[in-house]
Structure 1
Amino acid sequence: MKPAARRRARECAVQALYSWQLSKNDISDVEYQFLAEQDVKDVDVPYFRELLSGVATNSAYLDGLMKPYLSRLLEELGQVEKAVLRIALFELSKRDDVPYKVAINEAIELAKNLRR
């Protein structure tokens, strides 16, 4: 799959995770609704699904990884920031096929693009 499709998968995952974090709905319901309502023709959908389920399943673990490095409480992070960090930590800790430089760079690019 093309790198651009992976980037779009990460962007979509941030949006879906944001919805999940706020709604507290089941992640499979969030995934179904997102895929039904969004144009995902240029998205690596299997990777999107993996990010979504992986982050949801491992959210407590991922939060534990980031807590020691935060300058404020986890609860004080914005929902978008939390989603971006969780995706990056998931890729760093659970995806051996994603080079650490790619995971870090993609998180930075996501954060930059979402600030606009």
Structure 2
Amino acid sequence: MTHNRRHQRRFAFQVIYSLVFGQKMSKDSLIKSFDNFWTEEEFDMERQDSYAWTLVEGVFDNYDSIDEIITQHSQHWKLNRIAKVELTILRLSLFEMLFCPDIPIKVAMNEAIELAKDFGDDNSKTFVNGVLDAAAKGAQRNEHKTIQSGNTES
């Protein structure tokens, strides 16, 4: 299941990444974009049953609150100055940290660092880790009502 989730997380990253280049998308156009690349044969399930769709839809539905947390913890970086790869990884990982109680925060952070290694540049993993670590510490101080506080064990 871990491999399957990792595979779906990578797929979700790619769909979410494509969103940063387009106009503000509607839910219908998001579904069409997702379905253009999703194949039931490859993933052995339908879109609405997939973890990838949970991530893509979740980031889409919670964009503003996720971006607010990124802004709060990115130390002097405006959203439009953060590289699109790192911004996408942060959005995806923060969605998992905020709204997926079955995913330990450490797992979400480790998966984000793996994505940063695979898709980002030499500084990506350090930047992503710093922002996510600050957000996790903020959760422990109850700065974010929706992050699963105290769930930092793997």
User: Considering the TM-score relative to the shorter chain, is it more than 0.5?
Assistant: yes
Higher helix share: 1
What one-letter code is carried by the residue in structure 1 that aligns with 2:5? R
Percent identity of paired positions between Structure 1 and Structure 2: 32
Off by >3 Å, runs of 4+ in structure 1: 39-45
CA RMSD of aligned residues (A): 2.3
Instruction: Give the residue type in structure 1 aligned to 2:55.
Output: L
Residue type of the alignment partner of 2:66: L
Alignment of 1:68-83 (within 5 A): 68-71=72-75, 72-83=77-88
5 Å-filtered alignment, 1:99-114, equals: 99-114=104-119
CA shift in 2, pair 1:75/1:44, >3 Å: farther
Q: Does 1:32 align with 2:35?
A: yes
What is the number of residues matched between the two proteins? 114
Bigger Rg over Cα: 2
- More deviation, 79-88/46-55: 79-88
- Equivalent residues in 2 for 1:1-116, closer than 5 Å: 2-24=1-23, 25=25, 26-35=29-38, 40-41=42-43, 46-71=50-75, 72-115=77-120
Please, which runs of 5 or more residues in structure 1 have no aligned partner? none
Give, in whole Å, the separation in 2 of the partners of 1:80 and 1:6.
20
Deviation at 1:41, TM superposition (A): 3.4
Look up the equivalent residue of 2:43 and give its one-letter code: K
Instruction: Note the residue ranges of structure 2 that are not aligned, 5 or more in a row.
Output: 122-154
Deviation at 1:40, TM superposition (A): 3.3
| Deviates most, 20-29 or 9-18 | 20-29
